[in-house]
Amino acid sequence: MEGMYPLGVIAASILAFLLLLGIHGRWGKGRKATGKRDSGAVAAGFGGPDVIVVGAGVIGSALAYALGKDGRCVHVIERDLAEPDTIVGEALQPRGCLNLFELGLEDCVDEIDAQRVLGYVLYKNGRLAKLSISLEKYHVDVAVRCFHHGRFIQRLREKAASLSSVQLKQGTVTSLIKEDGIVKGVVYKTKSGKESKAFAPLTVVCDGCFSNLRHTLCSSKVDVPSYFVGLLLEDFQLPFPNYVHFILEDPSVVLFYSISSTETRCLVDVPGQKVPSIANGEMENYLKTIVAPQVPTELRDAFVAAIDKGNIRTMPCKSMPADAHLTPGVLLMGDAFNMRHPLTGGGMTVGLSDVIVLRDLLRPLHDLHDAAALCKYLESFYILWKPVASTMNMLADAFYKLFGASPDEARKEIGQAYFDCLSLGGRFSSDSTALIGGLNASPLHLVIHFLVAVTHGVGHLLLPIPSVRGLRGSARLISAAAGIVLPLMKAEGVRQTFFPATFPAYYRAPPAQLKQ
């Protein structure tokens, strides 16, 4: 009996080994059948990341963080992960600040010397109007935030990369991978020039105003009505600290705002699709002879000193209505999808609002590999994002048409009437700042607000006693106003902007609410 004990141990060991081998074989087969992360599945376009984000700017980084927090695996591909150096994207409106709080990114404006701005000062024809933003009802620290764009971008990237589910890669996306009309991923080149592919059930293209993928996904025409010419004023105190200064003169609108505790950005809007040459001195001459005399005396010396210092930079002011083709597996966002004139600084605010809409929209959809369901949800995005984006788009473009260079005298009269209304203060002034800041994103309120300014101008022409000349001038004013508003409404889509609830897709997910 004792001699049989070792044989029993050996037999039991062999049986246990065979049992474990069988279990492992069945588990391995099941893993190959159902696993989402094996290499074969990735190559076929299944598994791997849940979402590919093209571009790690403000929108791409914020989106990656938002989806990563929701448990999605996100791969971000950015052409250059070094800190950007640009003269635009330096002002985040109050709604944008609220969006940062909503996304958990409010600390990204900390430790970058961002400046808190409380309103706007407008100069026109020797007069000024000081407009303060009403922020008392918001329980968080909301204001306009001005900063170095690159510093803000890097903070957002750091925040996104802090999540284990988010991976940032440096590479240039050259094309989309399509199979049977469905986008499965992207082709990109690494920094070394090696071509690679990445697959995911959803690709979000948000690679900015210079997007090289836009033309395959939408048919909108990019308009360049003007250029921003940027200067940097150092160790200069604005006449009204913590306010953005607008000089509304013809032919160039000029902006001044602090981007750090020691630096003030100046942007000069130069109309047309071609700007004077910087290299041969034409730009310096234009700024000194045409623009400088229009700048208020308290700003002029610092303005001329910045010109003499050099480092003059330019940036095209692009405008493009949103007109995307609904393509399964891919979504356009940010400036790659929709642009408005940057005069009112609404681009980042619109983009962050879009991030919240998309995050909330995708939350009920647990399996992004269901192409049909995903396509329906993406259709909903193009409806849900409209009211906020369209309001800020129409406001920015209308504001530029009112105060930018124009040979149309009636348009100038409307601009003057609008400025006169702002100078009165009160409700019209507070409504205007709420619209510019995105705190009131109702397209209907915007149209009513504009009509009030036109009515003010008409009343000025007809009072105290109507005359033939006054009636003609009023008709000209109303015609010019219609020539501004109606094309903007048509470009945005009247039904999508003003009546989004008439679309069945509107009810697929609740629109993001602006929290107070």
203-217 pLDDT per residue, tens: 999 999 999 898 888
Residue ranges of E strands in 79-181 = 91-92, 115-117, 119-124, 127-132, 144-146, 166-179
Mean pLDDT along residues 287-296: 96
Tokens of 274: 């071609």
User: Does the pLDDT of residue 504 top 50, yes or no?
Assistant: yes
pLDDT at 508: 66
Question: 145 φ, ψ to 5°?
Answer: -120, 125
What is the Cα Rg of the chain in Å? 28
User: Does the pLDDT of residue 23 top 80, yes or no?
Assistant: no
Residue 462 β-bridge partners:
none
* Exposure class string for 380-394: b at 16+ Cβ within 10 A, else e: bbbbbbbbbbbbbbb
pLDDT tier at 461, thresholds 50, 70, 90: confident
Rounded distance, CA 172 to CA 195, Å? 9
Question: 404 φ, ψ to 5°?
Answer: -75, 175
pLDDT at 47: 52
What is the torsion angle, in degrees rounded to the nearest 10, for the CA atoms of residue 198, residue 84, residue 143 and residue 435?
-70
Class level of CATH domain 224-318: alpha beta
Fold classification of 51-112+147-222+320-385 (topology level) = FAD/NAD(P)-binding domain (3.50.50)
CB half-sphere exposure, 432, CA atoms < 13 A: 27
Residue ranges of E strands in 249-345 = 253-258, 263-271, 313-319, 330-332
Rounded distance, CA 13 to CA 5, Å? 12
pLDDT tier at 24, thresholds 50, 70, 90: very low
Mean pLDDT along residues 369-379: 85
Residue ranges of E strands in 142-277 = 144-146, 166-179, 182-190, 195-199, 202-205, 223-234, 243-248, 253-258, 263-271
Lowest mean pLDDT among 59-73, 96-110, 419-433: 419-433
pLDDT at 509: 59
484: nearest Cα among 429, 385, 418? 418
63 vs 381, higher pLDDT: 63
Lowest mean pLDDT among 46-60, 257-271, 297-311: 46-60
| pLDDT, mean over the chain | 87
At 446, which helix (H) or strand (E)?
Answer: helix 443-462
Rounded distance, CA 348 to CA 90, Å? 9
Q: CATH 3.50.50.60 residue ranges in the chain? A: 51-112+147-222+320-385
Is the N-terminal amide bond of 276 cis, ω within 30° of 0? no
177: nearest Cα among 205, 149, 218, 208? 205
Answer whether 438's CB lies under 8 Å from 345's CB: no
78: nearest Cα among 165, 178, 191? 191
In angstroms, what CA-CA distances link 306 with 19, 215, 271, 275?
81, 38, 21, 18
pTM of the model as a whole: 0.87
β-bridge pairing 115-117 and 144-146: antiparallel
Q: CATH 3.30.70 residue ranges in the chain? A: 224-318
User: Does the pLDDT of residue 230 top 60, yes or no?
Assistant: yes
pLDDT at 327: 87
pLDDT-above-90 percentage for the chain = 67
